[in-house]
């Protein structure tokens, strides 16, 4: 009898743990990403420049009721070009609001982003800072207690768009492996640019 009660208690506890985890994705986490591929295309009239970048990113988020705060830092470096390279250090902060559904979080946020660009090539050096504020909307869905998918769209600048899809596979209740694909498009007069990244990471959720 004791063994049966113990078994029932264990199964109930496990079920509640799974249900709680699969109910809605958490917006409180820290993560480290390796940006394995970053493809930057810039077109100005008939001239097109293509660069490959890679690097690392540190991300974090804190959930405060129906609100959340996100911070991130990307440090990317291009392949060698003319004996030098281009560095793009990206810092962003976002404040958002969530709407909870079964196993789902729908969210919207306002994001401020700053790009610190550095060019070092052939004795030539130039630094430039770019900053802007944009909006984003997305959805995160726990398909199972171990597998999450997510997608978002955004308007980072007036003449630009951002898209992203990703997945997270939990190896424990709190530690997950993430895979993300992101795309950023922008246009200013005749200058058009796009930036595509693929990243693999580790995230700890709380």
Strand pairing report for 147-155 and 67-78: unpaired
Overall fold of domain 2-205: Porin (2.40.160)
Comparing CA positions, the residue from 80, 82, 91 lying closest to residue 53 is 80
Of the spans 11-15, 46-50, 117-121, 131-135, which averages the highest pLDDT?
131-135
* pLDDT digits 0-9 by tens, 73-86: 999 998 877 677 88
For residues 37 and 31, what is the distance between their CA atoms, to the nearest angstrom? 18
Taking the model in full, what pTM does it have?
A: 0.83
Could you tell me the residue ranges of all domains in the chain? 2-205
Per-residue pLDDT tens digits for 27-62: 999 999 999 988 988 888 788 888 899 999 999 999
Give 146-180 pLDDT, tens digit per residue. Answer: 999 999 999 987 778 999 999 999 999 999 999 99
3-state percent helix, strand, coil for the chain, nearest multiple of 5? 10, 75, 15
């Amino acid at each position: 009898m004791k063994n049966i009660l113990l078994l029932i208690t264990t199964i109930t506890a496990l079920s509640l743990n799974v249900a709680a985890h699969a109910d809605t994705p958490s917006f409180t986490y820290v993560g480290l990403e390796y940006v394995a591929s970053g493809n930057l295309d810039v077109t100005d009239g008939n001239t097109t420049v293509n660069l490959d970048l890679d690097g690392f990113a540190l991300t974090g988020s804190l959930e405060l009721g129906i609100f959340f705060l996100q911070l991130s830092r990307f440090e990317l470096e291009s392949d060698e070009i003319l004996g030098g390279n281009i560095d793009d250090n990206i810092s962003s902060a976002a404040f958002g609001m969530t709407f909870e559904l079964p196993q789902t979080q729908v969210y919207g946020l306002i994001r401020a982003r700053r790009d610190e660009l550095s060019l070092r090539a052939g004795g030539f050096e130039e630094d430039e800072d770019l900053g802007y504020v944009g909006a984003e909307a997305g959805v995160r869905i726990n398909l199972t207690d171990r597998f999450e998918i997510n997608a978002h769209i955004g308007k980072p600048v007036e003449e630009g768009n951002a898209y992203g899809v990703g997945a997270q596979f939990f190896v424990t209740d709190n530690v997950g492996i993430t895979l993300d694909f992101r795309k950023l498009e922008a246009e200013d007069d005749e200058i058009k640019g796009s930036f595509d990244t693929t990243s693999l990471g580790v995230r700890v959720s709380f």
